[in-house]
Amino acid sequence: MLPLPDVADRLDVPISKVRQSLRDGQLIAVRRAGVLMVPAVFLTDDNEVVRGLPGTITVLGDARFSPTDMLRWLFTPDDTLPGGTPIDALRATGGREVKRRAQALAF
């Protein structure tokens, strides 16, 4: 888990841009001990947001998932996905299959 200032440093953007990404549904954060934190796996080794994550968050939001439910779904093991969880599959492939499955949840 990374606090917002660390996310801003890794993305090389001002913290206000990270906060805007949270408001726009491009990232998800949870509060731990009063501090907003973003899962480190949401960022690539090249210090970018994982490809496909913002779109997946949007689809899950359209399915009326809360941020907590989104995180739970992204980290729930699924042996049929590359890497074993939806977030791992997003990191591995960009997530066409992950987004398809997220869309199916809306119906």
- The model's pTM is 0.89
Rounded Cα–Cα distance for residues 106 and 64 (Å): 8
pLDDT over 70 at 13, yes or no: yes
Q: Are 19 and 62 in contact (CB under 8 A)?
A: no
Domain residues of the chain, as ranges?
A: 2-105
Q: Quick one: average pLDDT of 31-49?
A: 94
What pLDDT does residue 77 have?
A: 95
Buried b or exposed e, range 53-83, using 16+ CB within 10 angstroms = bbbbbebbbebebebeebbebbeeeeeebee
